Amino acid sequence: MNAGMKNGINLLMILVLFISCVQEKEDNNVLRRVEACMELFPDSALSLLSQIECPECMRGQQRADYALLLTQALDKNYLDNLQSDSLIMIAVEYYKQEGDKLKAGKAYFYYGKVMLLKERFSDAMQAYLEASSLLEETRDYKVQGMVWEYIGYLNSVQGLYENSIDNFKHSIRYYELASDRRRILYGYRNMARGYFSVHHNDSAGWYAEKGLVLSDTVSGMKASFLHLLGLIANNEKRYPQAIEYFSNAMEVCDNLNDKYRYSLSLGRVYSEVGQKKKAEDCFVSCINATNIFVSSGAYYYLADMHKKDGNYLKAFLYKEKSDSLLEVTRNAELQKQLLDLQNKYENDKLILENKQIRLENEKQTYFYLFLFVFILGLGIIAFFLVRKRYRTKLLRNVEIIGNKSNLSKIVYIMI
């Protein structure tokens, strides 16, 4: 291989590297913009991520950043069905290997959320504890608070209410350090619910009242605290106060599904105090709730009311409807389990197909690159051969002419 051909190949390689660097820089700029708008505009963040043309071409930190940001964007846009544990594991493994505790902690937190969606509770708890350990030495207090909040949720689901209360206390402390008012209110609500679950009504009421004072500045929270206070009052048989709390909660609530829940609670109190017509109106209003448990509960309480009144036929019919809705729920859960298994199979199959397609694309890319280099090399060789032949012929003509002055001019032109 002569010097000219080597120079041509080197030039080609430099061109390829330059194009790669430009593309990498553009992708990095997109990722930085995604980071900047993730908290306030997650839909825009997801849209920006979709503009990256070849995410599978990314390597190293860029690939890990993309995996973490895409998982965050899907989570914040409530696209849980698109979440993938294999995607977030790319970020987990890279950041942990590189010793980036902040990003590794975030990656473990979102890995825990994906595990929670898949109802793999032990894996979720392990991920949250790992995230907490990594984030301890960082100053990202908001994420630390969220980690402890989700640990609390897991303990609460398993009936470990005392543990969950302690976890929620940790979350509030970190939210206060982060000055995150909304999250602090979530913490107060979690504490109130935790204490209510263990029948510590005084403590539950204290946190609910504290949250109620601050909730005016955060949309959607006031009704939730009023409902909690109504539940506490009902437990303590303070029925007039319970009715007032539930009525106020329904009045300020702007979420239809939550209104149905509050109406169901209000109907139960009316039933307790013997106001059957008002109780029935509340229960009937909940029948069309999209939440199956709320509508099933409404039918159940209607059945109970008619049973006490001696109207056994109506009681039987309402009880049948309540049971049928619960049966639908059980069937839906079974279908979900079967669908999860099917999706897992389809995802594994899709991953394998994508891998094969990627390998084929890489082979084609290498083939065309080789073909291009080969043709370019032939062109360079042909150019130098023609040039050499031309120079040889020119020199032969110069020797024949034998004129020194003309020889100098010709050589000068040749050079």
Name the residue with higher pLDDT: 370 or 415. Answer: 370
Does residue 366 surpass a pLDDT of 80? no
Buried b / exposed e along 240-258 (16+ C-beta atoms within 10 A):
ebbbbbbebbbeebeeeeb
Q: What is the DSSP string of 203-224?
A: HHHHHHHHHHHHGGGSTT-HHH
Question: What pLDDT score was predicted for residue 22?
Answer: 45
The domain locations on the chain are 27-118
Q: List the single range of 39-48, 108-117, 168-177 with lowest mean pLDDT.
A: 39-48
Q: Identify which of 196, 180, 95, 194 has the alpha carbon closest to the alpha carbon of residue 146.
A: 180
- What separation in angstroms does the CA of 282 have from each of 228, 245, 247, 274, 295? 18, 15, 11, 14, 11
Q: How far apart (Å, rounded) are the C-alpha atoms in residues 55 and 66?
A: 8
- SS3 helix, strand, coil % of the chain, rounded to 5? 85, 0, 15
Question: What pLDDT score was predicted for residue 174?
Answer: 97
Q: List the single range of 39-53, 78-92, 369-383 with lowest mean pLDDT.
A: 369-383
Question: What pLDDT score was predicted for residue 266?
Answer: 95
Mean pLDDT, all residues of the chain? 82
pLDDT band at 112 (very low <50, low <70, confident <90, very high): very high
Does residue 14 surpass a pLDDT of 90? no
pLDDT band at 168 (very low <50, low <70, confident <90, very high): very high
Question: What pLDDT score was predicted for residue 35?
Answer: 86
Mean pLDDT of 68-87: 87
Question: What pLDDT score was predicted for residue 403?
Answer: 53
pLDDT band at 392 (very low <50, low <70, confident <90, very high): confident
Mean pLDDT of 218-227: 85
Question: What pLDDT score was predicted for residue 60?
Answer: 87
Question: What pLDDT score was predicted for residue 80?
Answer: 79
Sequence-ordered list of residues with C-beta below 8 angstroms from that of 305, at least 6 positions apart, any chain: 271, 276, 279, 280, 283
Buried b / exposed e along 134-163 (16+ C-beta atoms within 10 A):
bbeebebbebbbbbbbbbbbbbbeeeebeb
Question: What pLDDT score was predicted for residue 16?
Answer: 43
Does residue 312 surpass a pLDDT of 90? no
Residues 347, 348, 354, 357, CA torsion sign: negative
Q: List the single range of 22-31, 73-82, 135-144, 228-237 with lowest mean pLDDT.
A: 22-31
Buried b / exposed e along 28-58 (16+ C-beta atoms within 10 A):
eeebeebeebbeeebeebbebbeebeeeebb
Share of the chain above pLDDT 90, in %: 46
pLDDT band at 414 (very low <50, low <70, confident <90, very high): very low
Q: What is the pLDDT of residues 257-306, one digit of tens each?
A: 899 999 999 999 999 999 999 999 999 999 988 888 888 988 999 999 88
Apex CA 243: angle with CA 238 and CA 248, to 5°? 130
Mean pLDDT of 337-350: 48
Sequence-ordered list of residues with C-beta below 8 angstroms from that of 291, at least 6 positions apart, any chain: 257, 260, 261
Name the residue with higher pLDDT: 22 or 74. Answer: 74
Does residue 337 surpass a pLDDT of 80? no
Does residue 402 surpass a pLDDT of 70? no
State the first-to-last Cα distance of the chain, in angstroms, to the nearest integer.
Answer: 24
Question: What pLDDT score was predicted for residue 355?
Answer: 56
Predicted TM-score (pTM) above 0.85: no
Question: What pLDDT score was predicted for residue 310?
Answer: 87
Cα dihedral: 290, 296, 301, 302 (round 10): 80
Name the residue with higher pLDDT: 362 or 166. Answer: 166
Does residue 15 surpass a pLDDT of 50? no
| Helices 60-76 + 3-37 axis angle, to 10 | 30
